[in-house]
Structure 1
Amino acid sequence: MPLPDLLVSAIALVRDRRVLMVTARGRDVHYMPGGKIDPGETAAQAAAREAFEEIALDLDPDDLVELFEVVTQAHGEPDGRLVRMRVFRAETDASPSASAEVGALHWVTTADLDRCPPAGAEVLRRLAASGTID
């Protein structure tokens, strides 16, 4: 029996043709700020909650614009387990900062593809294809 897909939301905060990614403490893999959608939560609510928990940005779910959904092999999960990541554009002048669960913030481009798990790499490719990042 196949494992259920992981349903997650993430934000894409873009500045100067770079997108914000984070690393967990003690790891060097770059990933999008975001996480699992909790029961009863919309994808936008999950993206806003995770942005607050991970990078201390207070975003209104109603202001987030869904860009696309990435469906790919889930990083660190058994073969065949997929992640379905809904990516939302975030607009804010506030400065993100790393929370206790985040080791560091990184402003990245497609030059950083090799540091990303499959879903994050696909987000970078799509943002670059849309002309949003380098």
Structure 2
Amino acid sequence: MKIIDKLAWIEIKDGKILSTRSKGRTKYYIPGGKREAGETDFQALFREIQEELSINLIEGSVKFTGIFQAQADSHAAGVQVKMTCYSGAYTGTILPASEIEEVVWLSYKDKHLTSPVDHLIFDWLHEQHLLQ
């Protein structure tokens, strides 16, 4: 089984989670991405979030949230994505950048608009009473 190793930043406001849609895509994804060779989780997440959302994560505030794994969206059956999630404060104003076309705040009822691994994250956040 092939596993795609990714990192994600979970930002919740008023019971909704920040999600993004890339150019040419229809589904929304929790922001983040893949680590480059030699990067720590924080370095990779900082770089990806800066590239996608034009903000800077504050290192001392970033906290591990959990690891979720499911079928990778738009990949062959059996290809899994493992999403290591963090939350934390940031500086700047969230604006779509790079390949990101749209930034939205989704509630639990919007789960069907996201990828399979995001479904797991949405369920867990809902169980924790963080996502409405």
TM-score (norm 1): 0.91
Q: Measure, in 2, the Cα distance between the counterparts of 1:61 and 1:79.
A: 36
Give the superposition deviation at 1:93: 6.1
1:48-105 CA-partner distances (Å, limit 9, x unpaired): 2111010111113442101000111111111111111001012236431100310100
Equivalent pairs counted in the alignment come to 132
Q: Is the 8 A contact 2:73 2:115 kept in 1?
A: yes
SS in 2 for 1:66: strand
For 1:27, the equivalent position in structure 2 comes to 25
Q: Measure, in 2, the Cα distance between the counterparts of 1:79 and 1:94.
A: 39
Give the superposition deviation at 1:121: 1.4
Aligned residue type for 1:98 = P
1:26-46 CA-partner distances (Å, limit 9, x unpaired): 322000100111111122221
For 2:76, the equivalent position in structure 1 comes to 78
Q: Measure, in 1, the Cα distance between the counterparts of 2:68 and 2:93.
A: 26
Q: Measure, in 2, the Cα distance between the counterparts of 1:94 and 1:109.
A: 23
TM-score (norm 2): 0.92
Q: Measure, in 2, the Cα distance between the counterparts of 1:125 and 1:91.
A: 23
- Is there any run of 5+ residues in structure 2 with no aligned partner, and where? none
> Alignment partner for residue 55 of structure 1, among 53, 56, 63?
53
RMSD after superposition: 1.4
Q: Measure, in 2, the Cα distance between the counterparts of 1:93 and 1:109.
A: 24
- Is there any run of 5+ residues in structure 1 with no aligned partner, and where? none
Q: Measure, in 2, the Cα distance between the counterparts of 1:113 and 1:63.
A: 27
